[in-house]
Amino acid sequence: MSTNDPATGGRRAPDRRDLLAYASLAAAAMVVARPSWAASSEKGVTFFDTAEVYGPYVNEELVGEALEPFRDKVRIATKFGFAIDGTIGRDSRPERIRRVIEGSLKRLRTDHVDLYYQHRVDPNVPIEDVAGTVRDLIAEGKVLHFGLSEASAGNIRRAHAVQPVAAVQTEYSLIERSPERNGVLQVCEELGIGFVPWGPVGQGYLTGKIDEKSHFDPKTDMRSGFPRFSPESLAANRPITAFVQEFAARKGVTPSQIALAWLLAQKPFIVPIPGTRNIKHFVENLGATDVVLTPDDLREIATTLASHPFQGGRMNAEQMEQVEP
Ligand SMILES: NC(=O)c1ccc[n+]([C@@H]2O[C@H](COP(=O)([O-])OP(=O)(O)OC[C@H]3O[C@@H](n4cnc5c(N)ncnc54)[C@H](OP(=O)(O)O)[C@@H]3O)[C@@H](O)[C@H]2O)c1
């Protein structure tokens, strides 16, 4: 899974095959419902994403129960780093990471995690100490690979110097292009690190199913507090979503498939993890691997998006403070 092959000094150009054993598109476990697990394995999906904080704990339990029969055929990624004390504070102290991995292994019903991400960089713990702790867990066989989520290019470099980073997970999509500008994609390419875009269908924005009349329940749906999901932003961004829908119809595919195919076309080391609770959406999203975007297609998408600046932040202010620029 790691692209940091010691034989080549860790400098080999990364490739999607390094990140996924069999599939070129991953299913995020956060929202995949039970009936789809068997379908996932039949379809060759082998890369599942979860985190201690999802639920909290409940999602890891679901993933553990569901994947137990397929454990040797799948790769499980999970994450540590939130305090889980009623706040959304961060806690990556080494002693806590060592405690958290034990709980994750138990809930996931496994003796190792394939990819262990720090969910958010902790300003109170030097990244070298985090990397060193995961290096120890790797030496103990509890973790196979180290990942970072929403980390800056600088912190990715510092961590990588202590323990090679196998994957970086950060929001990236047609409507969230920060990794192209802040050096994160570039550092992943340079260091041979896989890149895992979360929110690859724009947290639903790019599916053709959301518009200014959509309701996001504040009790159950965090998007209700995200600036880009306000009715005003949804209306202002209508030209972008309308273009994606129109473009998809011209290609004879769906908007979600265009969003995913666009990511797959950006770099060979990119592995998007669309999340869904819906088996039809799951199958539809997998179809993105068959969608071919020509250089003309990619040019048209780039030109159109450049002429319609996107409106609205991707998360609420508190959450944005925790992601590195
Ligand atoms: N590292 C991090 O900080 C972080 C943060 C957030 C998420 N994640 C991970 O990344 C995964 C994906 O991110 P995400 O779920 O936030 O964003 P996403 O995959 O871009 O969007 C998921 C949303 O889109 C809808 N959707 C997906 N495919 C669809 C389709 N074909 N047609 C219609 N609607 C569709 C889903 O609804 P339906 O259920 O109705 O399909 C869901 O509301 C998560 O599951 C989680 O594992 C990581």
Encode pLDDT of 12-42 as tens digits. 444 454 443 333 345 554 344 444 566 666 6
Mean pLDDT of the chain: 88
| 88, pLDDT greater than 90 | no
| 213, pLDDT greater than 80 | yes
CB of residue 122 inside a 6 A radius of ligand 1: no
Q: Are 263 and 200 in contact (CB under 8 A)?
A: yes
22-31, 94-103, 151-160, 255-264: least confident range: 22-31
Q: Are 314 and 170 in contact (CB under 8 A)?
A: no
Token output for 258: 């265009």
| pLDDT tens digits, one per residue of 78-87 | 999 999 988 8
Percent of the chain with pLDDT over 70: 87
| 313, pLDDT greater than 60 | yes
Distance CA 192, CA 149 (A): 16
Provide mean pLDDT across the span 205-218. Answer: 93
Distance (Å) of CA 35 to CA 40, 64, 208: 9, 14, 24
Distance CA 65, CA 1 (A): 23
Could you give the 3-state DSSP secondary structure of residue 274? Answer: coil
Give the model's pLDDT for residue 1. 31
pTM over 0.85: yes
Contacts of 324 (CB under 8 A, 6+ apart): 121, 150, 151, 152, 155
Top mutation candidate among 63, 178, 281 for ligand 1, by most atoms within 8 Å of CB: 281
| pLDDT tens digits, one per residue of 117-134 | 999 999 999 999 999 999
> Which residue do the tokens 């709980």 mark?
103
Give the model's pLDDT for residue 8. 30
What single-letter amino acid sits at 173?
A: S
Top mutation candidate among 31, 116, 245, 260 for ligand 1, by most atoms within 8 Å of CB: 31
CA-CA-CA-CA torsion for 193, 146, 53, 266, nearest 10 degrees?
10
CB of residue 14 inside a 6 A radius of ligand 1: no
| pLDDT tens digits, one per residue of 185-202 | 999 999 999 999 999 999
Provide mean pLDDT across the span 176-184. Answer: 97
| 57, pLDDT greater than 60 | yes
- Give the HSE-up count for residue 229: Cα atoms under 13 Å, Cβ half-sphere: 21
What single-letter amino acid sits at 187?
A: V
> Ligand 1 mean position to 228 CA, how many Å?
15
CB of residue 204 inside a 6 A radius of ligand 1: yes
Provide mean pLDDT across the span 163-188. Answer: 97
Give the model's pLDDT for residue 32. 41
38-42, 47-51, 75-79: least confident range: 38-42
| 60, pLDDT greater than 70 | yes
Contacts of 135 (CB under 8 A, 6+ apart): 146, 162, 163
CB of residue 170 inside a 6 A radius of ligand 1: no
CB of residue 260 inside a 6 A radius of ligand 1: no
> Ligand 1 mean position to 6 CA, how many Å?
34
- Given 22, 54, 116, 117, which residue is catalytic? 54
Which domains can be identified in the chain, with CATH numbers? Answer: 6-201+260-291 (3.20.20.100)
* Residue 4: band (very low, low, confident or very high) from pLDDT cuts 50, 70, 90: very low
What single-letter amino acid sits at 197?
A: P
